[in-house]
Each structure stands twice: as C-alpha cells, then as structure tokens.
Amino acid sequence: MKLNLKVWRQQNNSAKGKFVNYKIDDVSEHMSFLEMLDVLNEELIKKSEDTIAFDHDCREGICGSCGFMINGRAHGPGSGIATCQLHMRSFKDGDTIIIEPFRAEGFPVIKDLMIDRSAFDRILQVGGYISAKTGGIPDGNAIPIKKEDSDLSMDAAACIGCGACVAACPNSSAMLFVSAKISHLGLLPQGKIENDERVIKLVAQMDEEKFGSCSNTYACEAECPKEISVTNIARLNKYFIKANL
C-alpha cells in the first residue's frame, strides 16, 4: 500500500520542530509500524537525508521503549498494544498518518519522536522499591499471600513504563504509571510496610516532575499497552488518604 506520512521533525529540545510530509510506497500490511519507519529511514539514508529518530528496543511490547502518537492515539489505533505491535494492516492504502512524539512537560523531546522519560526513573528512585534486604530466595510458602492480592499485584507489575498514559491524558497525568507501582509493591506483604512513605514520596515527585492531576477520564487505561486498570489509581488515592490521616 501507499501512505502519506506527516512526521514531527525536531532537531533537538530547543529547536522549533515542524511536520514534514513523506510519501512511502510498497508498504506491506504484514509490516509492523516500526518496520515501516525503518523502510522510510532506509530511503532517507539513500537520499543522504537525516533519518527519523525514534526509540525502540525489544519490538515485542515488553520493554516500553517505543511509543508515539499515531493519528491522535498513543501507540496508534487499537488497544492493548505498544507501537511496535501495531501492524500496517490497521491502515488502508492512501491513508495519511500523523506521527507525533508523546507530548508532556515531563517528557521533553530529545529529537523527532524520541522523548526523555527519565522523569519516570526519578519517580521510582524516591521510593518505588522495597528497602528491606531480602537475602536469598525465600521459601515460596514462607509468607502466605492471598491469591487475589498477588494477581492484582502482578497485573500492576505488568506496567512497562512507556508513558502512553501521560501522552493520552488530557492533563498529562502520570497517575496510572505511579499507581501501578504503588499497587505492585503495596499489595504484597514485603512492600506493604513502606506504603505510607512510598505514596507520599512518589506523589510529591510526580508533581515535581510536572505531571498533571487525574480527572478520571480514563484515557490512560484505554491506551495502556499492558491494560493496567484505573482501579490502581483508586488504590493510590486510598493509600494517599490513609498515609495523611
């Protein structure tokens, strides 16, 4: 198929970016979205033009490196997939596709579609862990954990930190990401002990990193490639209230 691409090009963070139009022929519907961009970049190299910079690593939806806004949707159309899992069969011959970086004050653009997501790392650094020394591998049955809690914790741990929640949110809120970490650690007995300090520190750092507040539109849940539930946000709120009372 033939496609028209409008791609955001920006030399660096301080440069003024703009959309550049590209025409691309011979796109196979079996290609992934990133492979389509690879083909375009090959063509740009042949023409001695600057290639389009974008993040990627595993290309199987588990590393959280890739991600941009594709036709107004974080990770493109569909749900439960990262950009690398989006296939070109989701588009039709002759389509125009608008490709933009995830836009948020907390995610400055590095170049073109690449953004700096280190704000997420800094949020985790203030308390997104358990500080107890865990030693060697404990006996699996030494600490009884309710199946329901361990399932909820594992579901939250599926977060890959791609930032689609922030990108999709009209308030650029990172609540889904932060709440996934809070639930992941806070539901288990080893992590529960530090719940109060963790939630206060993580929320403060989230605000510090210039992420917005949640207005419960749930756009984050709809775009999350790991389908992290917004009930985690309710849990964060509950822990936050408890920690402050």
Partner 1 sequence: MKIVNSFLTSSVGKKILMSLTGLFLCSFLIIHVSGNLLLFKNDNGVSFDLYSHFMSTNLIIRTIEIGLFAFILLHIYVGLLLTFTNRKLRPKNYKKYKLSETTTFESRIMRLSAVLVLIFLIIHLRTFWFEARFLGATSQYKLILTSFSNLYYTGFYIFSMLLLAMHLKHGFQSAFQTLGIKNSNYNTIINIFSFIFWFIIPILFASMPIYIFLNK
Summarize as ranges the residues that interact with partner 1 (CB under 8 A): 6, 19, 69, 71-73, 98, 100, 103-106, 168, 170-173, 200, 203-204, 206-207, 210-219, 222-223, 230-231, 233-241, 244-245
Q: Output the six-digit token pair for 206.
A: 């989230």
Which of residues 154 and 204 has its CB atom nearest to partner 1 in the complex? Answer: 204
Give Cα separations from 138 to 8, 135, 143 (angstroms).
50, 8, 9
Q: Specify the residue, 6 or 59, whose C-beta has the smaller distance to partner 1.
A: 6
CB nearer to partner 1: give 20 or 45.
20
Q: Which is nearer to partner 1, 8 or 64 (CB)?
A: 8
Query: Cβ of 65: how many Cβ atoms within 10 Å?
Result: 19
Q: How far is the CB of 98 from partner 1 (least distance, A)?
A: 5
Q: How far is the CB of 104 from partner 1 (least distance, A)?
A: 6
User: Please, which residue, 98 or 124, has the CB nearer to partner 1?
Assistant: 98
DSSP class of 107: B
- Are the beta carbons of 37 and 45 closer than 8 angstroms? no
**CA of 202: how far to CAs of 33, 125, 146, 161, 163, in Å?**
34, 9, 26, 15, 16
Q: Quick check: 52 and 72 in contact, CB under 8 A?
A: no
Least Å from the CB of residue 63 to partner 1: 23
**What is the per-residue DSSP string for 141-192?**
TSS---HHHHHHHHHHHT-----HHHHH-TT-B-HHHHHHHHHHHHTSHHHH
Shortest Å distance, C-beta 153 to partner 1: 15
3-state secondary structure of 69: strand
Q: How far is the CB of 71 from partner 1 (least distance, A)?
A: 6
